[in-house]
Structure 1
Amino acid sequence: MTRSVAIVTGASSGIGRATAVRLARDFGAIAIAARSAEKLDEVGREIEAAGAEPLVLDLVLAEAASADTLVSRTLDRFGRIDALVNVAGAVAGLDLFEMTDTQWDAGMALKFHGARRLTIRAWDALKQTRGSVVFMSGNAAVIPKPGAAAVGTINAAIEALAKTFAERGIADGVQVNSISPGAIMTGRRLSMIEKAAASRKIALDDARRQVLDQACITRFGEAGEVAELIAFTVSPPARWMTGTVLRMDGGEVKSV
Structure 2
Amino acid sequence: MQTAIVTGASKGLGRAIAIELGRAGYAVVVAARDQAGLDETVELAKAAGAPATLAVAADLSQPEAPDAVVKAALDAFGRIDVVVNNAGATKRGDFFTLTEEDFISGFALKFHATVRFCRAAWPALAKAGGSIVNISGIGAHTPEPDFTIGGSVNSAIINFTKALSKRAAVDNIRMNVLCPGHIVTDRLEARIKVRARDQGISFEQAREEMRLAQHIDRYGTPEEIAHTVAFLVSDKASYIQGTVINVDGGATPGI
Q: Shorter-chain TM-score: what band? A: over 0.9
Query: Which 4+ runs in 1 deviate beyond 4 A?
Result: none
> Is the counterpart of residue 30 in structure 1 residue 39 in structure 2?
no
User: 2:174 corresponds to which residue?
Assistant: 175
Residues 207-228 of structure 1: CA deviation (Å, up to 9, x unaligned): 0011111111111100000000
Shift in Å, 1:170: 1.1
- How many angstroms does 1:191 deviate by? 1.2
Residue 219, structure 1, aligned to residue 222, structure 2: no
2: CA distance, partners of 1:191 / 1:7 = 27
Query: In the alignment, which residue of structure 2 is the partner of 1:136?
Result: 135
Counterpart-to-counterpart distance in 1, 2:228 and 2:253: 20
Q: Tell me, in whole angstroms, the C-alpha distance in 2 between the residues paired with 1:143 and 1:161.
A: 18
For the residue of structure 1 that corresponds to 2:176, the secondary structure is strand
Q: CA deviation at 1:135?
A: 0.3
Q: TM (normalized to structure 1)?
A: 0.97
Aligned counterpart, 1:113: 112
Shift of residue 171, structure 1, vs aligned partner? 0.5
Q: Could you tell me which residue of structure 2 aligns to residue 12 of structure 1?
A: 10
In structure 1, the partner of 2:48 is 50
SS in 1 for 2:250: coil
Distance 1:182 1:188 in 2: 12
Give 1:123 deviation, angstroms: 0.1
How far apart are the structure 1 equivalents of 2:32 and 2:93? 23
The root-mean-square deviation of aligned C-alpha atoms, in Å, is 0.8
Counterparts of 2:94 and 2:135, CA distance in 1: 22
Q: CA deviation at 1:109?
A: 0.1
CA displacement, residues 64-120 of structure 1 (integer Å, 9 cap, x when unaligned): 110111000000000000000000011111222221110000000000001100110
Structure-1 separation of matches of 2:230 and 2:26: 14
Q: What is the distance in 2 between the residues matched to 1:144 and 1:124?
A: 35
Give, in whole Å, the separation in 2 of the partners of 1:133 and 1:189: 25
Q: Please say if residues 6 and 27 of structure 1, whose CA atoms lie closer than 8 Å, have aligned partners that are also in contact.
A: no
Going from structure 1 to structure 2, the CA distance change for 1:27 and 1:58 (only over 3 Å counts) comes to: same
Number of the residue aligned with 1:122 = 121
Quote the Cα distance in structure 1 between the aligned partners of 2:38 and 2:53: 10
The aligned amino acid for 1:222 is T
Q: CA deviation at 1:198?
A: 1.3
Which structure 2 residues correspond to residues 1-256 of structure 1 after superposition, within 5 A?
3-52=1-50, 53-256=52-255
SS of 2:161's equivalent? helix
Q: Which runs of 5+ in 2 are unaligned?
A: none
Given the two structures, how large is their TM-score scaled by the length of structure 2? Answer: 0.98
Alignment deviations for residues 218-246 of structure 1 (CA, whole Å, 9 cap, x no partner): 11100000000000000001011010000
Counterpart amino acid of residue 39 in structure 2: D
Per the TM alignment, residue 27 of structure 1 is displaced from its structure 2 partner at its CA by 3.0
Q: Is the 8 A contact 1:94 1:150 kept in 2?
A: no
Please give the alpha-carbon distance, in whole angstroms, between the structure 2 residues aligned to 1:42 and 1:36: 10
